[in-house]
Chains A and B, each alone.
Chain A
């Protein structure tokens, strides 16, 4: 037992250290700049970057709430035409990365896009002076495209809260004289607040981390600024300083999210698993409910999928060649290795937490922070220390063996895998931990009282019981790795392309049609974990 405690302690410390490397290095670089542009940043661009970022976050949370809350309420409390379909289909937009939907809608909605061409032909307008049309490449445009793929976070959490957490409360409310509608404002909405705060925090983190959309729309956010200052101006310290500002945002969001999660403990979990009696809507009311649910699905999933599918068919002969195979092999093998490493690390953390509880919690907390860090910040925090280590290794091999090892860590997929591990370990942990909660703790006691050690217990009892959770964790990490853009873009080895980087490069060059097969592949693969997610919701568990 002592031996295994030590082993887990060491593993915990190692993982915690690994995961803290990027944060520590960013803080060090930012505070010890060799070329200080801090003052310059503050007096010139930083206010713009920050206000753009804030505007984008604000716009996104308003829009995701306007989409997510009513749809969640409708499918939870009413029966109408298509309700069963929408109840799971409304999460489909999660499969579409924000940068892909941005490419698609820019293609349709910009001046030369199909939509404006149709308008011009319809109304005989000749040029842009004849009419007004909002510019898609703007903050408003970014809010539009991002909120239609991010709203499922709010939808899922609110739906879960409406349906399960407070089903009993609706009943009390109704016996006390409130109908469904007044119960919504008086009771359901306030009760959903913690879920809403979590949903909005996740949306804001995603917004903060987004690179593809803002880059494509040329909106100077903090994340884009890291790219510009670091890769454009070659100033790593400046980029680290901007990253510090982002980290302040991140920790504020994490604080809100965490306190919202804590508050959920006050909620009485419904033991009898009572579901709300749904009110039946008929006629025009059913039609309105249908429309409210259909629009987000149409904009966030159906239209982008149809367009990508159509373009894929058009360009299939050109796109489907040996280079596409290469992209598939790169993406799949990278995602596979990343999910393997990440899930193993997640199992270590989850089982350490299970076996040692409070003694382990500090390792768990720190290890899980990574999900909140934007890929660009991570990349910066990883590449600088790795390059430093590379230099030492290189010097060592040159002086003793006269061989140059080059950038053996920072220039290889090692750096990428490192970034994925940090970014996605929390997701893997979440899935495995939720599996752990369904294993009675007395089972551990039974195993140990029968003379089995802790490692033996994990091997013989936990892992077999966690099989499906491990599978789910692997799939979710696999898909998220495949979709990840900013860190991949920065950290990938020279001439190493994945589906995501391929889509980004072609679309940035206005070659959406050629990129559509890769984009469609990402979307299709992205649907797989949603199936598990749907199952998880129907099993009456929180999405977290």
Chain B
């Protein structure tokens, strides 16, 4: 990776096992200053364990971790205790101290500085986060959103060099989640604190991050901006993680791959003649009349469901064993059994070599 600035956090080939079960295998990643990075992957893919290892809550078994170019963790004895790492952590369940009020919760990490400065830090933080009125309340008296803000304030108070967030919004209901997420990210951005955030929600990852790292099967699968990952997925798994997909088999023919719905131009060589063509459901297009340039395969509507501005459609095509799914933004006047013409948007079409079983 070529970057001008030095990474705040560098993870170098770490591996981790729980007993016999391997959780992480040879994973490396970097977090640059002011960068928000999302670790995205299905539940149980070891994302939270990575955060816990970085924070020092789990002992590193193999590899190296650097913070500001200094080794903080290896599998040897030069292991820095979690309390000396200056890494903030917001847990999924927040873990606010139930016996302390909001003020004492936030001040908890400020024990080493003098009273005056402590007061200043506290005041500026609660004003920024908008929780100045909650100081004397106890955690169980707060709403979900308020608890979230307090947990963030508490982790930010000691001015950590890096912030780790472990699925911090997953316990909030949908509407509140969006609001709190936006607030949190804007606070972290304005604080210039680099962030490593774990989530299993691809939309969340695309909305908040500068960079997404996809984790699956103990390993890093792909790394890049949300655009990169959405439009240039490395494999079927990554493609399917962001939306529903249709899978067709295709045949390589010089600079083109031909499949049921037409042809896709290619600019690289494939080792096999037979490949898989993956089309996102939002990439499948349908029309009531035939149009040779795009809509040239005939199909029959098997089901239609209108949800908000979207229209979810399943289409039957003669000779194709599966129904084709489409997620349309321009609603069509169709019902079950309507005859339609089907095409696709090549931006949402991806070619992969067939995976060996």
Co-complex (A, B): yes
Spell out A's residues near B (CB within 8 Å).
168-169, 171-179, 186-187, 190-191, 193, 266-268, 270-272, 277
Indicate whether B333 reaches chain A with its CB closer than 8 angstroms: no
Residue of A nearest to B140 (CB): A266
Our pick among B56, B59, B96, B139 for the contact of A174 (Cβ within 8 Å) is B56
Residue in contact with B57 in the complex, picked from A171, A178, A268, CB distance below 8 Å: A171
Point out the residues of chain A lying under 8 angstroms from B269, CB to CB: none
A260 vs chain B, min Cβ distance (A): 12
The binding surface of chain A is classed by DSSP as helix
Is B154 engaged at the interface, CB distance under 8 Å to the other chain?
yes
B59 closest partner in A (C-beta):
A277
Q: Is A177 a contact partner of B158 (Cβ separation < 8 A)? A: yes
With known contacts A191-B99, A266-B98, A277-B59, A174–B93 Cβ distance under 8 A? no
Verify B155–A175 contact, CB threshold 8 A.
Answer: yes
Chain A residues whose C-beta falls within 8 Å of the C-beta of B158 in the assembled complex: 176-177
Query: For residue B96, which residues in chain A have a CB less than 8 angstroms away from its CB?
Result: 268
How far does the alpha carbon of A177 sit from the alpha carbon of B58 in the complex, in Å?
16
Cβ of B97 < 8 Å from any Cβ of A?
Answer: yes
B86: nearest residue on chain A (CB-CB)? A177
B interface with A by C-beta (< 8 Å): 55-59, 81-89, 91-99, 108-109, 111-112, 138-140, 154-155, 157-158
A510 to B169, CA, bound (A): 69
Shortest Cβ distance from A165 into B: residue = B98
Do B109 and A268 have beta carbons less than 8 Å apart?
no
Contact of A176 among B81, B91, B94, B108 (CB under 8 A): B108
The answer on a CB contact under 8 Å between A179 and B83 is yes
Once the chains bind, are A176 and B154 in contact (CB under 8 Å)? yes
CA distance A39 to B250 in the complex (A): 104
Looking at the assembled complex, report how far the CB atom of A193 sits from the nearest CB atom of chain B, in whole angstroms. 7
Q: What's the minimum C-beta distance from B45 to chain A, rounded to whole angstroms?
A: 15
Q: List 9 A-B pairs, minimum CB-CB distance, nearest first.
A: A176-B109, A174-B82, A175-B89, A168-B95, A266-B98, A174-B83, A172-B95, A177-B83, A266-B140
- Shortest beta-carbon distance, A189 to chain B, in Å? 10
Is the CB–CB distance between A175 and B55 below 8 Å?
yes
How far, in Å, is A514 (CB) from chain B's closest CB?
53
Instruction: Compute how far the CA of A272 lies from the CA of B56 in the bound complex, rounded to whole angstroms.
Output: 18
Collect the chain B residues with CB atoms within 8 Å of residue A168's CB.
91, 93, 95
Give complex CA distance A203, B299 in Å.
79
Q: Is the CB–CB distance between B57 and A177 below 8 Å? A: no
- The reply to whether B57 and A174 contact each other, CB–CB distance below 8 Å, is yes
Q: Which residues of B contact A270 (CB under 8 A)?
A: 93
Q: Is the CB of B97 within 8 A of A191?
A: yes
A190 and B99 contacting across the interface, CB-CB below 8 Å: yes
Tell me the dominant secondary structure on chain B's binding face. Answer: loop
CB distance from B67 to the nearest CB of A (A): 13
Which chain B residue shows the least CB distance to A269? B93
The answer to whether B95 and A178 have CB atoms under 8 Å apart is: no
> Which residue of chain A has its CB nearest to the CB of B108?
A176
A317: min CB distance to chain B, Å: 53
Subset of 16 A-B contacts with CB under 8 Å: A168-B93, A169-B97, A172-B89, A172-B95, A173-B83, A175-B57, A175-B88, A175-B89, A176-B109, A179-B83, A191-B99, A266-B99, A266-B139, A268-B93, A268-B95, A270-B93
Q: Could you tell me if A171 and B99 are in contact, using CB atoms closer than 8 angstroms? A: no
CA distance A350 to B56 in the complex (A): 45
**Roughly how many angstroms separate A173 CA and B109 CA in the complex, as a whole number?**
8
Specify which chain B residues have a CB less than 8 angstroms from the CB of A172 in the assembled complex.
89, 91, 95, 97, 154
Could you tell me the distance between the alpha carbons of A271 and B171 in the complex, rounded to whole angstroms? 13
Given contacts A171-B57, A277-B57, A177 and B95 within 8 Å (CB-CB): no
Beyond A172-B97, A266-B138, A270-B93, list 14 extra A-B contacts (CB 8 Å): A171-B89, A172-B91, A174-B82, A176-B83, A176-B108, A176-B157, A177-B111, A177-B112, A178-B83, A178-B111, A190-B99, A268-B94, A268-B95, A268-B98
**Contact residues in B for A271 (Cβ distance below 8 Å):** 93
Q: Is the CB of A173 within 8 A of B98?
A: no
Among A168, A171, A186, A271, residue most surrounded by chain B Cβ atoms (within 10 Å): A171
A271 to B166, CA, bound (A): 14
A224 to chain B, nearest CB (A): 39
State the CA gap A411–B97 with chains docked (Å).
56
Report chain B residues within 8 Å CB of A193: 99
The docked-state distance in angstroms from the alpha carbon of A169 to that of B139 is 13
Closest to A265 in B: B140
Contacts of A173 in B (CB 8 A): 83, 108
**CA of A176 to CA of B109, assembled, Å:** 5
Within the complex, the shortest CB–CB distance from A77 to chain B, in Å, comes to: 13
In the complex, which residue of chain B has the Cβ closest to the Cβ of A191? B99
